[in-house]
A and B are shown apart, each in its own frame.
Chain A
Amino acid sequence: MSHADIMAGSNAEADSKQYLTFYLNGEEYGVEILRVQGIQGWDTVTPIPHSPEYILGVMNLRGAIVPIIDLRKRFNMPDMDIGKTTVIIVVKTHNDDESRTIGMVTDAVSEVYSIDENALQPLPDFGGSVSSEFVKGLSTIEDKMLILLDIDRLLDIRDKLAPNSQSSAA
């Protein structure tokens, strides 16, 4: 958590940060707004061979090739067809000193809230369908529950070396 604080260079006095929230399968989720690069309507996504199912493919985002993650699939939620409100939230993730830009498919965007990070509640063991490794904590705003996501783990690059070592042996 403190790591994320430093990253975002947030206001130390209030420890409050702005979060962009979005809907996914009827629940409201939040990501740190400083990580958000943009919000994009649905566009053609080119599938990547040998990729996990939750990676829909890649998209051209102003000349950069950006992988698109289907959050519903990532969190083992039921599929939903792409609708009018479906948007891709483009975020920056940090992993081992490397930063990557990825897109997340969400049902719809909602609001921007200021959230006091010290008042976050941990995820109870049984809660929600989202596995706890992606969740920073829970927050309550206007009697609503918000699930704040830790996006750095969304794109699993742990198996990164496997295909790489194969091709370098070529």
Chain B
Amino acid sequence: MSDDMDMSEIHDIFYEESYEGLDVMESGLLGLGIGQPDLEIVNNIFRAAHSIKGGAATFGFLPISKFTHGVETLLDQIRAQERSVSEDVIEVLLESVDSIRCMLDMFKAGNTPDEASSIELKQRIDTILALPSGVAMISASDGEVSELAETKQWTIQFFPSVDILKTGNEPLRIFNELRALGELKIVSDISKLPDIRNMEADSCYTHWILILDTDAERKRIEEVFDWVSDQADIIIECKESGIANSQAQAAPVAAALGLPSSEAESGVTAGVSSSNGKKTSSTKESGSIRVSIDKIDALLNLVGELVITQSMLARHADGAVAGNEAQGLKDGLLVLERHTRELQESAMQIRMLPIGASFSRFKRLVRDLSQKTGKKVELKLSGENTELDKTVLEKMSDPLVHLVRNSLDHGIEKPEDRLAAGKPETGTLHLSAYHEGGNIVIQVDDDGAGLNRQRILAKAIEKGIVSPSEQLSDDQINNLIFQAGFSTAEAVSDLSGRGVGMDVVRRNINDLGGRIEVSSREGVGSRFKIRLPLTLAILDGQLVKLGSDVYIFSLLSIVETVLVSPGEVRKVVGNGNVYRLRDDYIPVVRLRDAFKLRCNDSIKTYLERDGELLVVVESDGQRIGLFVDELLDQQQVVIKSLEENYKPVAGLAGATILGDGNVAMIIDVPSLIKTLDIAAITSKIEDFAA
């Protein structure tokens, strides 16, 4: 607690942990059954609430600790099975989570929350607490002595480590908290106090023996010491019961406290300190990441092996090994190659997070929305363990919320309509994530009414997005929902219908190098399928040749590749060329022309063949064909920025270095299509098709 700087860092840790605690509470509450709840879940929720309260009290966020205290009391009663869980209780607790989160937000922004905002909720909690609950009523933490609970005398020996004050813990606070539990007598032992000349002002040399008369259980007492359990020896003994406790409980409380807080569940905290407020670097912008210890171990192992391989190679280089040096070197290089690849994969893995955390947020959303709309919806989740790059995951959160809201608002019908249509009353919304061909696919399915194509078309004509004379395929009509300013909801509701949703969704996904597809059957449901690259730094590329240069397409942007014989490309009025790909006419361009390449060499190579290679790419629902000289391998490439030493180039996403050390350009299909001014070419095609 030396200066403000340290304090603000500790506060950041508190915020981070509290937000996590709230997430734990929220998901726990959503999974809590009515009536007889799962005690394990209740305990989790309680512990999270308790850490938030404790932290808030320690760091002086009094409104939070006061408010959370009531929540904790209620949870404690549920935990002790003194109160049954009703829909009402869950609702109040969920709202409390929101309220605490809101208070945290305000503190974090440097404001002090207005107590009035939470007062109504606090009263509701108090009302519930005041209700007799069938079982005996105890308000344990308030120290109101209940008739049923037996008052015992506890002796607590508290031996803090010398450094305890430096970590921001204040024994006096602990004693005050104990005092809240009952009658407390404190005996200080100052025998260890050094000579005044050797004394350090911020060290703690005192030991205490605390005698506490209380009806509270051992657990409650232990919880008071939660924050200091790893910096002090704590022995808690019960005088009255006195029997044999000393042996079992003499073990430091730490052991008994192996349970606390959410950290235990998620494995390890990397970059985030444990609850005692050690100094860590957690700047808001840099963003930290929780990494499971398995991943770090795997990485360390690999680095170890790499070191071994390196020394092995060095030995060969020194000529220390007699005999067949070349063979040894080759072997060593093979091992090195394998390890390097594994190391790269392993390092990439660190950025990968399971999508589950993102998915479980939708439980709450679906619950709230279905209550608001009076629809019955069941949310199914699958593939929660599918891992995605942290950046991708964060950027996908908003688009997914849009899609889920849309499905609930437009897709799934009201219960009476569903029954009338011969469907089960409860609609199903299925969120799933899985791997498919080197991509991650996130899918949102609903069994609702499906897209109403007549209405979409009517709306599009009304808004002037399409002209009345146009003949559109079902797919094309479906894709109209991604147009800017498009919305079919009759009334603009709280949920959706402002027409800002779907075009933003598609743009966000495109920005990530992904694609979204929609398919729908009227009366049966809709499916939104999002394909995303595994990571942003590495791209699955299709290498193509133009003259003597290699260019790279993202595999995700390629729809197909076709061999086109010379007669199949038609010239349309002006200078646009089109090709008939099954039922559609798509504009085609020579990639060399698109890039205005100055090379004249080898242009005959494709003329000598039976046809030309056309790569059909898609972006924003717009397909175009690009002629290339040759198709080469598919391989993963690392994206490097052109801006670092040059400037951004239209039509290029960056460059990469190929195995032979040469540079190859990576094509950015969306921006390439923009530079080609496809709109002009497309209008010509429509004339042609009509």
A94 vs chain B, min Cβ distance (A): 13
Residues A49 and B596 in contact in the complex (CB < 8 Å), given A60-B657, A167-B674:
yes
Chain A residues contacting B595 (CB-CB under 8 Å) are 49-50
Interface flags for A38-64 (1: CB within 8 Å of B; 0: not) read 000000101111110001011110011
How far apart sit A155 and B652, CA to CA, in the bound complex (Å)? 19
Contact of A49 among B550, B641, B664, B665 (CB under 8 A): B665
Name the residue on B nearest A67 (C-beta): B646
How far apart sit A44 and B663, CA to CA, in the bound complex (Å)? 8
B505 vs chain A, min Cβ distance (A): 15
B395 vs chain A, min Cβ distance (A): 15
Stretch at the interface among A21-29, A70-78, A157-165: A157-165
Are B668 and A167 within 8 A (Cβ)? Answer: yes
Name the residue on A nearest B650 (C-beta): A163
Are A58 and B663 within 8 A (Cβ)? Answer: yes
Q: Does A80 touch B at the CB level, under 8 Å?
A: no
- Residue of A50, A55, A155 most packed against chain B (CB within 10 A): A50
How far apart sit A163 and B646, CA to CA, in the bound complex (Å)? 12
B35 vs chain A, min Cβ distance (A): 54
Indicate the size class of the contact surface on chain A. 20 to 34
Q: Does A170 touch B at the CB level, under 8 Å?
A: yes
Are B651 and A49 within 8 A (Cβ)? Answer: yes
Chain A residues contacting B34 (CB-CB under 8 Å) are none
Are A170 and B670 within 8 A (Cβ)? Answer: yes
Contact of A50 among B510, B644, B651 (CB under 8 A): B651
Considering the complex, which residues of chain A in the window 69-128 have a beta carbon less than 8 Å from any beta carbon of chain B? 100-102
Interface flags for B652-665 (1: CB within 8 Å of A; 0: not) read 10010100011111
A65 vs chain B, min Cβ distance (A): 5
Residues A163 and B642 in contact in the complex (CB < 8 Å), given A46-B662, A49-B595:
no
Q: Does A166 touch B at the CB level, under 8 Å?
A: yes
Are A65 and B649 within 8 A (Cβ)? Answer: no
Residues A46 and B650 in contact in the complex (CB < 8 Å), given A60-B661, A170-B674:
no
Chain A residues contacting B663 (CB-CB under 8 Å) are 44, 46, 57-60, 65
How far apart sit A58 and B195, CA to CA, in the bound complex (Å)? 72
Are A160 and B674 within 8 A (Cβ)? Answer: no
A162 vs chain B, min Cβ distance (A): 8
- Residue of B510, B550, B646, B649 most packed against chain A (CB within 10 A): B646
Name the residue on B nearest A102 (C-beta): B645
Are B662 and A166 within 8 A (Cβ)? Answer: no
Name the residue on B nearest A61 (C-beta): B645
- Residue of A155, A163, A170 most packed against chain B (CB within 10 A): A170
B602 vs chain A, min Cβ distance (A): 14
Residues A46 and B648 in contact in the complex (CB < 8 Å), given A58-B642, A60-B661:
no
Are A46 and B642 within 8 A (Cβ)? Answer: no
Contact of A65 among B510, B594, B599, B642 (CB under 8 A): B642
- Residue of A47, A59, A63 most packed against chain B (CB within 10 A): A47
How far apart sit A81 and B662, CA to CA, in the bound complex (Å)? 21
Extra 4 A-B pairs, beta carbons < 8 Å, given A46-B664, A163-B648: A65-B645, A166-B671, A166-B674, A170-B670
Q: List 7 A-B contacts (CB under 8 A).
A: A58-B642, A65-B641, A65-B655, A65-B663, A66-B645, A166-B671, A170-B671
